[in-house]
Structures are given as C-alpha cells and as structure tokens.
Amino acid sequence: MSRVLIIDDSATERHVFTSWLAGMGHVVLEAQDAETGMALAIQQRPDMILMDVVLPGKNGFEAPRTLRRNAQTQAIPVMIISSKNQPSDQAWGKKQGAVAYLTKPLTEQLFRQEIEKVLSALPAFSKEP
C-alpha cells in the first residue's frame, strides 16, 4: 500500500483518480492547487504525486521544479496527468522533473499500469511496510 497525492483543481478528476487508487489499495491525499499540494507533500511525504498542469496559481510545470529543489520532496516521483497533449507539453513536463506524462482522458487500465510502473521502481526502503 502506497500513499498517493493527487493535485488537480477538478473535483471530478480527483474523485475518479481517488476511486481507482483506492481500488488498487492505496491511500489517497488530495489538493486542489499546487501550493496546497506542495505543502501537503512536505508534511505527509507521499510515495507518489499525480499532478495536473492547468492549476490555479503555480502550474503543473512549475510545481515539479519546486519539489525537485526541496530536500524533503526531491525523491517523490511526480506523474503529470493533463489534457495538454502536445508532444512539446509532454517533453517539457518530463524536463521539469515528471517521471511520466499521461494525457486525459485516460482509461483505468492505462492509469493502473503507469501507477504500478512508477511505484514498483521506488527503492524498497522508501516504501512503507
């Protein structure tokens, strides 16, 4: 069981992703903007962060850079899930520190595969017992 933080301003998207993650046995934390999400990441130290790009305030391209610069959050993998689907958006997201970039809408099957791929790559010592 891992703890996953969802940062998305859409309550509907947060609900869908939370449902899918809970069905996988994960504990879910939620934030509706990057500033709240980054504070929650420092406080709760999730195993993974799912982040939209289009957010109020700091966007999902800026936030991963900020998280990478903080010693408390730099090792937390960030997966961007966004409706911004241009190859340049995906390349930029990864350049900013995202380990993966998925585009909306996405299927539950693809979501599950990508979550498991990222979580399985975490060092064993960083996962909760």
The domain limits of the chain are 3-122
pLDDT of residue 125: 40
- Which pair of tokens denotes residue 56? 């109020």
pLDDT of residue 63: 87
CA geometry: angle 35, 93, 8, nearest 5 deg:
40
pLDDT of residue 31: 96
Rounded CA-CA distance 63/112 in Å is 23
pLDDT of residue 62: 86
Which pTM value belongs to this model? 0.89
CATH topology of domain 3-122: Rossmann fold (3.40.50)
Give pLDDT < 70 ranges for the chain. 124-129
* Cβ–Cβ under 8 Å, residues 91 and 68: no
